[in-house]
Structure 1
Amino acid sequence: MFRAVRLWWQSGRGKETSRLFVFELTVVMIGVLAAQQVSNWASNRSQMQEVEGLYRDQMRAFGVYRIIADTYAVAIPCYRERADDLFRIAASDQAADSAQLAFAPLAGMGPDDITTEQYRLLGSQYGESTRTKIGSMQFNLREVQDEVVELNRVWFDFQRLDGAGGKVSDADRAAARAAAVKVRALLARLAENTEVIQQLARQLGVPRKLNPGITPVSNCAEMWRTGLAFRDRDRPDR
């Protein structure tokens, strides 16, 4: 068998066939590599388009959050003043009326679910400084979201000062005083986090959204009268 192979090779046909085989293999390998390069380019392009869209969405959202943070800046002193009033009532023998106990909801803002890979791409496309600022913004948005939920929950304890159901007990007054202390602490953290959001947005070059659907109330009286911690363009009657 080996003798037959040697004869076939020595005839020249083997060398010609081998050269043809090498040529065809080279062409195939080049085609495979080219296809892989095209596939990688398309994948990278798709990822870049995705992260560019994510970046634009984040900047638009941050512009809205700057307006919402403005409403918090006006509302927080109003909550603090009302909590102090309720603390004084709780420390006396008086009861509070329903208007004093009412809570005016804040406008909501919260974090987005950005994956580790998306953060990596943001850093690659826009720089580590921008990626870090966006990450810090998301952290503070999550903190604000949790603090607003907790503020709603703690404020409900002031209902124990409602004298409509009878005499307010000493235990109810103690619980209301404790709620006032918690509210003040929550408001301090909320003010700090919303200011950080404003600072990060300024550092990212994000302006306030033009023609927003909400704006700050003019004063505390408006906030308690309307029952909202912001002006809602869609509810002008409030």
Structure 2
Amino acid sequence: MNIIIVEDEIKTAKSLERIILELKPDVTITDRLQSIESTVKRLSTGPSPDLIFMDIQLADGLCFEIFKSVKVTSPVVFCTAFDEYSLEAFKNNGVDYVLKPFTKEDIADALQKVDELKNFFQKPAMPDLTELLSKLVQPAGKTSFLVFQQQKYRTVNVQDIALFYIRHDATWILCFDKQQYPISQSLDQITQSVSGRDFFRLNRQSLVAFKAIKEVEPYFLRKLYVKLVIETPEKLLVNKEKSQQFLSWMEDR
């Protein structure tokens, strides 16, 4: 199996290559690319690899520009520190979506998923990727969450939720009516299950609803301070590395 790694962080690329070779010693890492430009050139002129591990945010832009410039026939495992691009990733040959910092188990799961997709590395011709990827694309998002409070179960409609947040290592729901409920799912699980158009992961502790946002202010160290229409337990801050993606998300209506 021939694999290409597209990653602009050299240390991360080396770590990913080491893990892949530990899991599958028989594979060959044919190319290590760091930009949209170099990846487009490689895929335009060289043979298609069996698999691509690709970071989403590269030094010269989002990797989805690659798919607009060249026809990519290889399956892609996307590796990124941001979780809001999952639907876009699955629309562009994505067979898995791994969040950084990834572990050896994360990469092992991704490689196993690739192997299980009709064993298409063993076939002389590529299978119908549209059919394969249709099985992976997630629905638009959950419409409600089950919560347990005061010895009773009830459902909370997603449209009534302003914020998911972590407090004292537990995940909580904050509704527009200011009611709060603990929930058993992790914030990572919730992020994957709700609509990426309606919710944005501001940081490791909070996932906010678009319609809950009142205003956004510049903050210290080029961060953004997100104010909601209701009071929040803590200030909601977006770091400078993620601020542009957040503003683009807000504008994309």
TM-score (norm 2): 0.21
State TM-score, norm by structure 1. Answer: 0.22
Larger fraction in helix: 1
Q: Which structure exhibits the higher relative contact order, with contacts defined as CA atoms closer than 8 Å and separated by 6 or more residues?
A: 1
